[in-house]
Structure 1
Amino acid sequence: MPQPDYVSALGAPDPTSLDDDLQEVFQKCVDKLGLVPNVLQAYSARPNKLRNFMAMYNELMLGPSGLSKLDREMVAVVVSSANHCYYCLVAHGAAVRVLSGDPQLGEMMVMNYRVAPLDARQRAMLDFAWKLTKTPEIVVKADRDALRAVGLTTDDIFDLADTVGFFNMSNRMGIGIDMIPNPEYHGMARPEPFNPPAKKT
């Protein structure tokens, strides 16, 4: 059964009606990804907000950081799992599969990151992301100390909290306007056919 066939419940402008700079961004997305992410199409209803969203996203997810791109995408998925944000789970779940080369890791991040065979640093980051999302009022110094204990620096902790905060915001936006992910995300980085590893006897 296919998902709803729209960008969001509020619609999106015709891309050809947008300013030249935004049309150029959309063309770059097509050239690089083969699609224009629906989040950008949805935000194009408010062009200045789209520009600000892209600037923040690009700095947060692609800029220099002690957190790898995969680390940041896993955080995005765990936050989105806590919030049940369909758009971000599909889109960033696909990014985890692409960056890790592991479709099973992508599914574990979406469903329950705790079952994934993560190292201590990754697990501590994702535990912090979950807690800051679900119960932010009880995050205390001990939680930051636990991150330092597995090697995160002050800058890393800042970037982690910033990523968690951004995706809590974008999850609420996605849910609030019923943003639907591009259908292409569902098939990304899924080997065909998939043969599960043989059980050990």
Structure 2
Amino acid sequence: MSDEVSRFGVVEPEDLPDDLRDRVGAIADKSGFVPNIFRALGHRPAELRAFLDYHDALMDKADGLTKAERELVVVATSGANHCTYCVVAHGAILRVRAKDPELADRVSSNPWQVELDERGRAIVDLALALAHDSAAFGEAELADAREAGLTDDEIWDVGAITALFAMSNRLAHLTALRPNPEFFLMGRLPR
């Protein structure tokens, strides 16, 4: 197995433009390491900047979906798209935010059978409907989500997060992006 992080190489944080070095540095300070996605996208600074901006606009919202629910969408979408990098990376974040060391593995491997509360089930089902056959998505899926109590703003967030990570999953496939080893134990062992 190759030790390459990306088939297109990487850029280390110190070689990024100042604004990106600061943003990635803040993430590294919080997590203790630089997630490989930022190193892989670093050779295209405008795209990394746009990715971070859209990611932050969707994932850092204070209202609507909780941070754990947002990560639930990412893990369900990434599992549906067979994206190892995003399942591993965001599975780690979901484990931490949900305070559940098993949830991410269960959602990514069999999202249809994982036991969730009604709201979680609606979130995962909505993400899967968009991830698997977005052209068939319609009023029935919206009605199910609304019946489970999701607001239109929350439904939009599920859809937008699913769409962003469909793109992210495909970039990870393009680059053959390897997850950081640190992600594998996050949220499984006491810190």
TM-score calculated relative to the size of structure 2 = 0.93
1:116 CA displacement: 2.5
Pick from 94, 97, 109: which aligns with 1:96? 94
Number of residue pairs the alignment of both structures matches: 190
Pick from 14, 17, 20: which aligns with 2:15? 17
Counterparts of 1:114 and 1:96, CA distance in 2? 18
- Per the alignment, in what secondary structure is the counterpart of residue 132 of structure 1? helix
1:182 corresponds to 2:191: no
1:151 CA displacement: 0.8
Aligned AA for 2:43? Answer: A
1:89 CA displacement: 0.6
Counterparts of 2:4 and 2:166, CA distance in 1? 23
- Per the alignment, in what secondary structure is the counterpart of residue 113 of structure 1? coil
Q: Deviations over 1:17-47 (max 9, x none)?
A: 2222222223212211101111111111111
Aligned AA for 2:37? Answer: V
Q: Deviations over 1:85-118 (max 9, x none)?
A: 0100100111111111211112101211233321
Q: Deviations over 1:28-73 (max 9, x none)?
A: 1221110111111111111111111111101111123311111110
Match of 1:105 in 2: 103
Identify unmatched segments of 5+ residues in structure 2: none
1:6 CA displacement: 2.6
- Per the alignment, in what secondary structure is the counterpart of residue 115 of structure 1? coil
Using a 3 Å threshold, how does the CA distance of structure 1 residues 189 and 14 change in structure 2: closer, same or farther? closer
Counterparts of 1:25 and 1:135, CA distance in 2? 35
- Is 2:129–2:141's contact at 8 Å kept on the other side of the alignment? no
Counterparts of 1:4 and 1:56, CA distance in 2? 31
- Is 1:13–1:44's contact at 8 Å kept on the other side of the alignment? yes
Match of 1:81 in 2: 79
Aligned AA for 1:103? Answer: P
- Is 1:85–1:174's contact at 8 Å kept on the other side of the alignment? yes
Match of 2:135 in 1: 137
- Is 2:13–2:25's contact at 8 Å kept on the other side of the alignment? no
Aligned AA for 1:179? Answer: L
1:139 CA displacement: 1.1
Aligned AA for 2:113? Answer: V
Between stretches 8-17 and 48-57, larger displacement belongs to: 8-17
Aligned CA RMSD, in angstroms, stands at 1.5
Deviation >3 Å, runs of 4+ = none
Percent of residue pairs identical: 39
Identify unmatched segments of 5+ residues in structure 1: 193-201
TM-score calculated relative to the size of structure 1 = 0.89
1:12 CA displacement: 1.1
Aligned AA for 2:109? Answer: M
1:79 CA displacement: 0.7
Counterparts of 2:48 and 2:181, CA distance in 1? 21
Match of 1:197 in 2: none
Aligned AA for 1:87? Answer: Y
